[in-house]
Structure 1
Amino acid sequence: MKPFAPMPLSIKLPLLAAAMMILVGAVASHQVLRSLARVQDARIQELAQMHVEGLSVALGPLVLRHDVWEVYDTLDRAAQGGEGRRMILTAVADDRGRVLAATDPRRVPMDSDIAELAGDAVALENLSVDGSRPVLSLLAPLIYQGRMVGQIATELDVSDLLTERRRAVLILIFGNAVAIGLLSLAGFVAMRTMLRPVTTLARQMTETQGEPHQIPIAEIPRGDGELARLAHTYNSMVDAVAAKAEAERRLAERERFVALGRLSSSLAHEINNPLGGLLNATDTIRAFADRPDVVRRSADLVERGLRHLRDVTRVTLDQNRIDTTDRDLGPDDFEDLKLLIQPEVSRHGLDLEWSVDLTGGAECKMPAGPVRQIVLNLLLNACAASGQSGRVGLRARSGVEQLTLQVTNTGPDMPQSALDRLLDDGPLLPGGGVGLRLVRELVKGLGGWIAHAHENGVTRITVGLPIVREAANAQE
């Protein structure tokens, strides 16, 4: 069946039907030819029996008297009759097998042995038109008054019967070929029509470049048949897939905004404290305008506060810009993340362990935006899980083939709903960590992997991201 595997179903089924019809036609033709052969055998046996019985009645007394001329005259008159045209040769012998007379004396001389003529002759009950010989030989006893007085040898011309059989074979072959061709064509058209919904379904599933589309209503069969139900079920599945994708997109957006809201709240505290110091410095400058040393110290304080606010604002803008994939990852990105996460660490009273080493991947090409988003979401989730006075850590290492990010935190292990969001692509359940599904989508988009472990009260989330070297890109 392998050579037929690439064929569409609308072609394989008509071919199968044609093969079955050929088989049925062959069996039926064989039965017809067998029936024709039986009819011809019965006809030739009946004709030969009538010939032998007629000659037995007419020649019996003549053979007993060995009246050669009367025997020959009887054979000659029999050869002039209707059945004589089929009996091309007849010879009569006495009880010793010596020929008394024959319709062709030159071929069968008188007083010759009849066995020489009947070398391949058969008995009356075995006479059969076998299809290979146009002349059949018959050897039958000459019975008169209940006893055998001689023998009759006859050759029968059956060429017309063979012609009739060959004509029947040609008619059967031609008729079967025409019938099979017409029925196969009709079956192909009918099968293509019936399987059109399946073809449409296959096209919708394979030619939409990963985004399934509904089957148009005009192409769905009418009624409540299997193909119609299949098409409606497919359309329902397309609606469900689209609804699921939209729900996941909205949930990812919501989680992103939740993370940004929490981050903004922490940054507000980070900005509010320097603002209080700046206002105090400006009041000091106004109050002690005549004292240069006080004004200078206050101005230095204002400058440090403004620089801090500038750095916080820059990092926030970099983190939330729309297009974050146009710049390669570098050590400054991790410094920005440290600045962003510091207010959340301070608010919870956590210890921050920070270790970044990108020297092994200095030539790597990796978009900064997705990596920053991955690390920030994992750190925010780690801060929330550690509680008060816990410990949060980041360890980033670039190797020859991948960048490894490991975020750790103390406290209880992640609940199953959070693990499902981080490690599985299944439907989202209520609950779970902030931004974990977004982390998974970003890691998958970069071709990376995620692993989770909880040992000795420490939860470790490890992310591996493949590195594309500049040299490799140049070779490509």
Structure 2
Amino acid sequence: MRTLGQLPLSIKLPLLAAAMMVLVGAVASQQVLRALARVQDARVQELAQMHVEGLSVALGPFVLRRDNWEVYDTLDRASKGGEDQRMILTVVADDRGRVLAATDPRRVPMDSEIDDLAQNAVALENLTVDGSNPVLRLLTPLVYQGRAVGQIASELDVSDLLSERRGALMSLILGNALAVSFLSLAGFVAIRKMLRPVTTLARQMTETQGEPHLFPAAEIPRGDGELARLARTYNAMVDAVATKADAERRLAERERFVALGRLSSSLAHEINNPLGGLLNATDTIRSYPDRPEVVRQSADLLDRGLRHLRDVTRVTLDQNRLDHEDRPLTPEDFEDLKLLIQPEVSRLALALDWSVLIPKKTSVDLAAGPVRQIVLNLLLNACMASGNGGKVGLTAQNNACGLSIEVTNSGPEMPEAALGRLMTDAPLSPGGGVGLRLVRDLTTGLCGRISYRRIDGLTCVRVTFDRARGATDAQE
């Protein structure tokens, strides 16, 4: 069955048609043989009835007188008739079952019992050619003037009828075989021709090599049949696929330029934000050149800020991926971030709630560059969302579970578009900045998690980095 299921449709359909023709031929042959058998049985019964009735009329007086010689003479003359040659044996007995005469006295002697011959004999109405025995036995009463005066037993040779039946059977088998073979071949050719569009369609679909080909117009069937509609529908689908592929190529080119613009915007965004703090540091140095501790603190800020800008340029050169072998994160990085956003806090008159629960002289085994970018972007977005006179907060805590950073603001809930940029990897919708998507990319690169919630009128964004290698004490 599995092998049959793997055959092509152009072979399975002719095989199915051939099987149905064989079934129909077998049924038709059976009906023909039954009709022939009924005709033969009728012929045999008619011959036997004529034979019995003729003998009854001719032998009735002789059987009454038990005249054996007259009975034998009559049987002998009857056996020499034309159609009666089918009767190979006829035996006449009296009403007691004693044999009076037989056409073959040596086989059935006179005055013997007829019961031995009548063991396998049947009545006239049950006489039939059963298809296995070439000799039939018939036992009928001998009726004369309305009463049974004896019995007649006969044997009929039906070998010619059996031969005729076998000949008819062989003719039917041969005829059916020839008809099935011819019709199967014709069906195979016709079905293969009808299925040629399907074969062509299958070839077009399997030999595309990444690009579907149109169905040849010359091979599309005429009219509006199912196969013609299938071919036209396939061509329409190929045209649609080609149109879509062309649109995707144009869109890819457009996205390439958009990505370049986003990269430029991201680079400007990441460089422009620290510049305000660095410029403040230079102004502080100019304003307090006589205070070494202020100059030293500002110089350290300049050093860390410039290193951060260097990291940003490295990120751009490395396809927007930070080098995770950067220096580890320290509490001083959070102090730098506080100084960097101070101009924005002052400009908007924001209330800043700052809590960094990381012990001094310790470092967190996370690259400082990407974490600074994450926190700076979240703080700038929080300042923008809070508006004038709002409230912004940061809580950073490093414990046995890892580093947790939460940025809050008193502004409205984060829009759906902004949430999509921060919480999912869905394609960026037109408009909007790249800061929140950059936060997500950097957090994912450090195997961190981002969560968002709204509680007590505050928007809270938490970034968590599970402890993988732990914190280490900084060595002086």
Q: Same fold (TM over 0.5)?
A: yes
Tell me, yes or no, if the aligned pair for 1:97 and 1:151 is still in contact at 8 Å.
yes
Question: Which of 212, 215, 218 in structure 2 is aligned with 1:214?
Answer: 212
Tell me, yes or no, if the aligned pair for 1:449 and 1:463 is still in contact at 8 Å.
yes
Tell me, yes or no, if the aligned pair for 1:4 and 1:12 is still in contact at 8 Å.
no
After superposition, residues 313-324 of structure 1 pair within 5 angstroms as 313-321=309-317
Tell me, yes or no, if the aligned pair for 2:281 and 2:299 is still in contact at 8 Å.
no
After superposition, residues 43-442 of structure 1 pair within 5 angstroms as 43-180=43-180, 183-184=183-184, 186-187=187-188, 189=192, 193=196, 195-196=198-199, 199-200=202-203, 203=206, 213-218=211-216, 221-222=220-221, 224=224, 225=226, 226-232=229-235, 234-235=237-238, 238-239=241-242, 242=245, 243=247, 247=251, 254=258, 257-258=261-262, 260-262=264-266, 264-271=268-275, 274=278, 307=303, 310-321=306-317, 329-330=324-325, 347=344, 386-388=385-387, 389-391=391-393, 413=413, 415=415
Tell me, yes or no, if the aligned pair for 1:278 and 1:301 is still in contact at 8 Å.
no
1:156-181 CA distances to partner (integer Å, 9 max, x unpaired)?
A: 22233333333444444454455445
Distance 2:341 2:13 in 1: 68
Distance 2:281 2:141 in 1: 145
Letter in 1 for 2:165: R
In the TM superposition, residue 117 of structure 1 has moved relative to its aligned partner by 0.8
Describe the SS at the equivalent of 1:136. Answer: strand
Number of residue equivalences:
430
Q: Which residue of the partner structure matches residue 27 of structure 2?
A: 27
The percentage of aligned residue pairs carrying the same residue is 43
Tell me, yes or no, if the aligned pair for 2:200 and 2:215 is still in contact at 8 Å.
no
TM-score of the superposed pair, with normalisation by structure 1: 0.64
Distance 1:230 1:441 in 2: 44
Describe the SS at the equivalent of 1:228. Answer: helix
Q: Which residue of the partner structure matches residue 7 of structure 1?
A: 6
Letter in 2 for 1:196: T
1:405-452 CA distances to partner (integer Å, 9 max, x unpaired)?
A: 9987655555556667888899998788859899999999x9x99986
**Are the structure 2 counterparts of residues 312 and 136 from structure 1 closer, same or farther at C-alpha, using a change threshold of 3 Å?**
same
Q: Which residue of the partner structure matches residue 289 of structure 1?
A: none
**Are the structure 2 counterparts of residues 162 and 62 from structure 1 closer, same or farther at C-alpha, using a change threshold of 3 Å?**
same
Distance 1:94 1:65 in 2: 10
Tell me, yes or no, if the aligned pair for 2:92 and 2:102 is still in contact at 8 Å.
yes
Distance 2:459 2:149 in 1: 123
In the TM superposition, residue 299 of structure 1 has moved relative to its aligned partner by 11
Letter in 2 for 1:47: L
Distance 2:353 2:435 in 1: 22
Letter in 1 for 2:271: L
Q: Which segment is superposed worse, 448-457 or 264-273?
A: 448-457
Q: Structure 2: which 5+ runs fail to align?
A: 359-364, 469-476
Tell me, yes or no, if the aligned pair for 1:90 and 1:102 is still in contact at 8 Å.
yes
Describe the SS at the equivalent of 1:217. Answer: coil
Q: Which residue of the partner structure matches residue 474 of structure 1?
A: none
Letter in 2 for 1:7: Q
In the TM superposition, residue 7 of structure 1 has moved relative to its aligned partner by 3.2
Tell me, yes or no, if the aligned pair for 1:451 and 1:463 is still in contact at 8 Å.
yes
Q: Structure 1: which 5+ runs fail to align?
A: 285-292, 357-361, 363-367, 468-476
Distance 1:16 1:44 in 2: 42
Larger Rg: 2
Describe the SS at the equivalent of 2:96. Answer: coil
Q: Which residue of the partner structure matches residue 473 of structure 1?
A: none
Describe the SS at the equivalent of 2:136. Answer: strand
Distance 2:206 2:433 in 1: 40
Tell me, yes or no, if the aligned pair for 2:440 and 2:450 is still in contact at 8 Å.
no
Describe the SS at the equivalent of 1:93. Answer: strand
In the TM superposition, residue 99 of structure 1 has moved relative to its aligned partner by 1.9
**Are the structure 2 counterparts of residues 343 and 311 from structure 1 closer, same or farther at C-alpha, using a change threshold of 3 Å?**
same
**Are the structure 2 counterparts of residues 274 and 26 from structure 1 closer, same or farther at C-alpha, using a change threshold of 3 Å?**
same
Q: Which residue of the partner structure matches residue 40 of structure 1?
A: 40
Letter in 2 for 1:110: M
Letter in 2 for 1:75: L
Tell me, yes or no, if the aligned pair for 1:378 and 1:407 is still in contact at 8 Å.
no
**Are the structure 2 counterparts of residues 55 and 433 from structure 1 closer, same or farther at C-alpha, using a change threshold of 3 Å?**
farther
Distance 2:376 2:295 in 1: 37
Describe the SS at the equivalent of 1:264. Answer: helix
Tell me, yes or no, if the aligned pair for 1:259 and 1:377 is still in contact at 8 Å.
no
Give RMSD over aligned pairs.
5.8
**Are the structure 2 counterparts of residues 47 and 190 from structure 1 closer, same or farther at C-alpha, using a change threshold of 3 Å?**
farther
1:52-89 CA distances to partner (integer Å, 9 max, x unpaired)?
A: 23333433344344332333233233333343443222
Q: Which segment is superposed worse, 450-459 or 89-98?
A: 450-459
Describe the SS at the equivalent of 2:216. Answer: helix
**Are the structure 2 counterparts of residues 306 and 52 from structure 1 closer, same or farther at C-alpha, using a change threshold of 3 Å?**
same
Tell me, yes or no, if the aligned pair for 1:79 and 1:103 is still in contact at 8 Å.
yes
Q: Which residue of the partner structure matches residue 470 of structure 1?
A: none
TM-score of the superposed pair, with normalisation by structure 2: 0.64
**Are the structure 2 counterparts of residues 323 and 298 from structure 1 closer, same or farther at C-alpha, using a change threshold of 3 Å?**
same
Distance 2:215 2:353 in 1: 62
